[in-house]
Amino acid sequence: MAVIRDVMPAFQLYQPSSIADAQKLLQQNGYDALVLAGGLDSMDWLKDRIRKPQAVVDLSGIAELKGIRETADGVEIGAMTTLTEVAQSPVIRQRYGLLSQAASLVASPQIRNQGTIGGNLSQDTRCWYYRAGWPCYRAGGNICYADTPVGRNREHAILHAERCVAVNPSDTAPACIALDARFVVMAPKGQQVIDAEDYFVGPDLDITRMNILRPGYLLTAIRIPLKWANAEFYFEKVRDRNVWDFPLMNVASAMRVSGETIQDMRIAVNAVAARPLRLKMVEESVRGKPRNAATGEAAGKLAVQGAVPLQFNAYKIPLMRNLVKRAITGVEEAAWAS
């Protein structure tokens, strides 16, 4: 367990009021800096004395990072917009109900009031060994405590694990991928606009990070194009408790249907791997097919190909198969709406 001492190590707190100033501070402090958004993830690291940054850069005073704006091609959501604002925004509810629903199912009202969309997308994994300061692979060591015969791994990965079997716990991430969102990132060499699915990083690329952000980087906005506005959406989150709980798994999809035929679809799942997974093979397999149980069944089987369970999470394989099937048939959406 983490060694808790009386006092958190001291750090310099910076409260910039512009993106430019925040960037300057982050670049000056490099690996010694921590970005603070709503603090629901980052404050844990500080309070547990596991991360000891020299500088904390608090983004809460930067007005240009807040709010939801309509643009010529959809909407742009500032990274510091709260999850409550995303869930309740009339334009998001009306056009992109998928994201509104995903945001409204995060944790609890208090956490949604404080947590930001940028922080929710950038949050670290919740693997308890790692969070408690155990020196595992992800923390720079040479063992995975979760992937042992006695490891507690009920919530862990069934796909794309490589040494680390932790999962990405974000509810909004798969919704952003299904909506074909793009993330605006300020990097030391300038602005980058990245496809949502490319923002996330698995252990095959870098075991110490969950996303592409490096020292000096800032996520500034999420852009959602018109392309999938008012599509047929499906979001389902399975968790142990109906409030205050991370997903055991979630699925998000956007679909265009003509008559009973699926014209096009984007679908992503999270909490099955260290990054949210877009299921491209499923998308390709359902195009031009009737939207019915047989198509859903076949897509579900395809989705779990290659899945490898750990000691305590075999349930995730039928769960994923069924969530993908339901995303295609839309059964639970009807139940949600009624």
Ligand X SMILES: Cc1cc2nc3c(=O)[nH]c(=O)nc-3n(C[C@H](O)[C@H](O)[C@H](O)COP(=O)(O)OP(=O)(O)OC[C@H]3O[C@@H](n4cnc5c(N)ncnc54)[C@H](O)[C@@H]3O)c2cc1C
Which spans of this chain sit near ligand X (rule: CB under 6 A)? 34-42, 59, 79, 106-107, 111, 115-116, 118-120, 122-124, 169-171, 213, 218-219, 244-246
Q: Which lies closer to ligand SF4 via its Cβ, residue 140 or residue 190?
A: 140
Residue nearest ligand X by beta-carbon distance: 119
Backbone angles phi, psi at 296, to 5 degrees: -65, -40
Q: Out of 68, 98, 165, 218, name the contact with ligand SF4 by CB under 6 A.
A: 165
In the complex, the smallest distance separating the C-beta of residue 136 from ligand SF4, rounded to whole angstroms, is 3
In the complex, the smallest distance separating the C-beta of residue 44 from ligand SF4, rounded to whole angstroms, is 14
Q: Out of 37, 65, 83, 146, name the contact with ligand SF4 by CB under 6 A.
A: 146
From the list ligand X, ligand SF4, none, pick the one residue 138 interacts with, judged by a Cβ distance below 5 to 8 Å according to partner type. ligand SF4
From the list ligand SF4, ligand X, none, pick the one residue 252 interacts with, judged by a Cβ distance below 5 to 8 Å according to partner type. none
Q: Which stretch binds ligand SF4 (CB under 6 A): 74-82, 96-104, 124-132, 188-196?
A: 124-132
In the complex, the smallest distance separating the C-beta of residue 103 from ligand X, rounded to whole angstroms, is 9
183 binds ligand SF4 (CB under 6 A): no
From the list ligand SF4, ligand X, none, pick the one residue 129 interacts with, judged by a Cβ distance below 5 to 8 Å according to partner type. ligand SF4
Q: Is residue 145 within 8 Å of 129, Cβ to Cβ?
A: yes
Q: Is residue 102 within 8 Å of 235, Cβ to Cβ?
A: yes
Q: Out of 136, 222, 252, 279, name the contact with ligand SF4 by CB under 6 A.
A: 136
Q: Which lies closer to ligand X via its Cβ, residue 97 or residue 169?
A: 169
Q: Which two tokens stand for residue 263?
A: 């014209």
Q: Residue numbers of the site for ligand SF4 (CB under 6 A)?
A: 125, 127, 129-130, 136-138, 144-147, 156, 164-166
